[in-house]
Structure 1
Amino acid sequence: MARILVVDDNPNNLDVLAELFDQHDFVVLFALDGRTGLQRAESGRPDLILLDVMMANMDGFETCRKLKANSSTKDIPVIFMTALTDTTHKVKAFASGAVDYITKPFEPEEVLARVHTHLTLQQLRQDLQTKNEQLQDSLDTLHSTQEQLVQAKKMAALGRLVAGIAHEINTPVGVGITAASFLEKKSREVADLYASGKLPRSEFETYLRQSVDSTASILSNLQRAAKLIQHFKQVAIDQHSEEHHRVNLKLYFSNLFTGLQAKYEHFPYQTSLTCQEDLYVDIYPGMLVQILSQLFENSVLHGFEHAQTGTISLDIHPQGNRLFLQYRDNGKGMNPEQCERVFDPFFTTKRAQGAVGLGMHIVYNLITQTLGGTIECQSEPEQGTTFSISLPILNT
């Protein structure tokens, strides 16, 4: 049941409104002046206030301003009731915080209609505020859950990385330990035979061959472990490890392609570079060398496996505040599963040939985490592979 506070210094008006509201099941509170009205509003917490303008000591305008200045009463809708009909007073009423203005003498039906309208609007505002608070709570919960999911994903990725590191390093280290243990055992046996004067020449020659084989195995596996550790260090490359430089992109990548081709003793593949002649952009050279070198290596070792011909192309163009690079090869391509997992750490189809499976993961981290860009892969079997890269252009 709605509560209405009527503030009016005319008892006759109070009687008329009391009878009207009582007939329509409203709870009515009364006050004969502004100060009493302020007290009743704070203690009675009405749903709506009907306020006369012309009252002694404190008029309706001042009363309304004080209601709106009080945090406990500022949201209660106020309707002025007055004989003042000129526009100036109506504007003053709205400026003081009123929601409506009824002129005297009033019609009961109009008063009821306006009261019902503003009570409905007030209820809708309260419902909206409640919904907004619920929505904010939901958003806060969503953000908290999102943070937890992000952290969980990071921890899961870290767990996979650590497990992969342990697995990859364990193999060469294990082989090295086995070879070292074998060599240590044989050395003791030969030392004992030598000390006793019973070391035949054939036994010593066999020991020498075994020593050479064992030390070669130890060295090879230690070198592999060192290479793995170097790869792992690159995964966590510091994004502030180098400064950026302004370069002519076409000249820079042309020289880079020439250098990459020179790495391979026999390079029967064609390269193509599309870039405007006078495009100068600030870049991080070391990181782009690393990215392009890995893509290039991926094409040569995987895309062009067993192929005698092939083409690698790089299309570079700026658009707005971003630089777009499209790297393509027309090699053997990848199936959907390989394409989907190409950036996963330790994913490789060449593990038997000694591949680690971190190269494309490093590329992904460099582009997305360090350079703040994006990279996508499109590939189909026998249709080649395309990597689409978008990088923010650095501000100089």
Structure 2
Amino acid sequence: MSERASILIVDDAPENLEYLSSILSPIYKVRAASNGDRALAIVMSETPPDLILLDIMMPGIDGYEVCRQIKASPLRRSIPILFVTALGEETEEAKGLAMGAEDYISKPYSASIVLARVNTQLVINTQSRELECANAALSHTLAHLQQTQSELVENQKLAALGRMVAGLAHELNTPIGIALTTCTAMGSWVRTLSNSIEQGGLKRSSLLDYLQHTSEASEVLERALNRCAYLVESFKKLTIRDEDAVFSTFDLSDMVTMACYPVSDLLQAEGIQLQIHVAPIQMLSCPMLIVDVFNHLIRNAKEHAFIDQVQPLICIEAAARDGLVTISVSDNGCGIPEALQDRIFEPMFTVTLGNGGLGLGLSIVWDIVTNRLGGSIRVQNQLGGGCRFVMVLPQELKPSANAL
């Protein structure tokens, strides 16, 4: 059997205390106080009541002041208070309710009304406490889930970093190996030439062979070292925030032209046609970051999209609406298998690892678009073949955004 609720009756009239006690004591534990000081002492004790019936008009501290002090206490403010009074004016009721009282019981008392209103407030208070406990439990559970989520995210970041470092090491091994082999060969040629000179048997043909071999070796070294520099620079772009990105107002069509210019000769040499359909669109953003995005997407299409394509094509389109700029970079190449599309922006993920592709380009694009330009990017295959990268960027990027 559950413990009975405790009711405190506060009234300076003994007959009122006795009558209310006779109504409530068969069901509840009843305590009485004949003045405000005594009532506050009971409420602030170690065993406060579950509900208070409080008279308004009392000598000394009146009911309003008792109510004000109780509601000002963080530990006692949740105790429901029902004013009991002969005052029936609406202004008095409004004053009491404004101070935090839950209800009124008017004199002369009706036993059924007293019991009904007391029971209602006790039920409401019990449900409120249960709801608070449930909310506390939910908050604890939510905090635990958020902590778990943070740990999972960190674990995923560490795993991605591990894959990225392993992929970078794998890719660097090839040009470094080539450079070491070439240097070894060049050292052997130098020793051979030196021996010939010391022995006085240096021939013009031997010198010409040495110069030819050295020239070819230097080209191999240059390509290998340029490859290493490119890999390291790409890696840095994923790990270093671009603090020098400058905000400015610009025309998007100009930025597209600027981005396409450095790769136009490469595309032309491989027979790749480039179409640009970008109307003049004024943007406030970081133009050089946008140029970087276009550069990576075009190079990605050039390196991976076209396999035995007769008329390879890359198309860039853009349109502005409702403060957003939608930009697409599409091709008519081989497309991306659906099973791989969810991973295409992961660092070091590429289907051509070890064959000239590091797998950082699209990761750099995702980082720039989402973390620095405040936008989003997705990839989708086209019905007629090829794939399309679609970016949505704010037309006006605020400097306070997370873009930098």
Output the TM-score relative to the length of structure 2. Answer: 0.84
1:249 paired residue among 223, 248, 252: 252
Tell me the CA shift for residue 75 of structure 1.
Answer: 1.6
Quote the offset at 1:15 in angstroms: 2.2
Say if 1:335 and 1:381, in contact at 8 Å, map to a contact too: no
- Distance in 2 separating the partners of 1:304 and 1:171: 24
Return the offset for 1:267: 6.0
Query: C-alpha displacement at 1:61, in angstroms?
Result: 2.1
Measured after TM superposition, the shift of residue 49 of structure 1 is: 0.6
Report what 1:2 is aligned to.
5
Contact 1:248/1:281 (8 A) holds in 2: yes
Question: How many Å apart are 1:7 and its aligned residue?
Answer: 0.9
Shift of 1:179: 4.2
Q: For residues 263 and 190 of structure 2, what CA distance do their matches in structure 1 show? A: 46
Q: 1:312 and 1:190 mapped to 2: Cα distance?
A: 51
1:159 matched residue in structure 2: 162
Correspondent of 2:104 among 101, 108, 118: 101
Contact 2:51 2:80 in 1 (8 A): yes
1:316 aligned counterpart, secondary structure: strand
- Report the AA paired with residue 82 of structure 1: T
Kept in 1: contact 2:267–2:302 (CA 8 A): no
Q: Which amino acid aligns with 2:330?
A: R
Q: Give the deviation of 1:28 after TM superposition.
A: 1.1
Identify unmatched segments of 5+ residues in structure 2. Answer: 399-404
Cα distance in 2, alignment partners of residues 311 and 205 from structure 1: 48
Query: Pick from 37, 46, 50: which aligns with 1:47?
Result: 50
**Once the 2 structures are TM-superposed, how far is the Cα of residue 144 of structure 1 from its aligned partner?**
2.5
SS of match in other structure, 1:132: helix
Higher mean displacement: 102-111 or 258-267: 258-267
Instruction: Choose from 83, 88, 103 the match for 2:86.
Output: 83
1:87-120 deviation line (CA, Å, top 9, x unaligned): 2322233233221111122121211111111000
* Range that drifts further, 123-132 or 205-214: 205-214
User: Is 1:34–2:33 an aligned residue pair?
Assistant: no
Gap regions ≥5 residues in structure 1: none
Q: Is the 8 A contact 2:9 2:17 kept in 1?
A: yes
After alignment, is 289-298 or 72-81 more displaced? Answer: 289-298
Do the aligned partners of 1:77 and 1:98 also contact (CA within 8 Å) in 2?
yes
User: Displacement, 1:218?
Assistant: 4.4
**How has the CA–CA distance of structure 1 residues 368 and 395 changed in structure 2, closer, same or farther, with 3 Å as cutoff?**
closer
Amino acid at match of 2:53: L
Partner of residue 402, structure 2: none
Counting only pairs closer than 5 Å after superposition, residues 252-291 of structure 1 correspond to structure 2 as 252-254=255-257, 256-257=259-260, 260-266=263-269, 268-277=271-280, 279-291=281-293
- The change in CA–CA distance for 1:251 and 1:229 in structure 2 (over 3 A counts) is closer
Contact 1:53–1:61 (Cα < 8 Å) also in 2: yes
Contact 1:50 1:80 (8 Å CA) reproduced: yes
CA contact under 8 A between 2:83 and 2:105: conserved in structure 1? yes
Cα 1:371–1:76 shift into 2, 3 Å: same
Tell whether the 8 Å contact from 1:190 to 1:199 is kept in structure 2 after alignment. Answer: no
2:282–2:395 Cα contact (<8 Å) kept = no
Distance 1:290 1:63, change over 3 A: closer
Shift of the 121–164 alpha-carbon distance from structure 1 to 2, 3 Å rule, reads same
Q: For residues 319 and 150 of structure 1, what CA distance do their matches in structure 2 show?
A: 34
Distance 2:157 2:34 in 1: 68
Label 1:162 to 1:350 Cα distance change in 2 as closer, same or farther (>3 A).
closer
Instruction: Note the C-alpha offset of 1:2.
Output: 0.5
- 2:59 alignment partner, SS class: coil
> Aligned partner of 2:26: which letter?
Q
**TM-score normalised according to structure 1 size:** 0.86
* Amino acid of the structure 2 residue aligned with 1:323: V
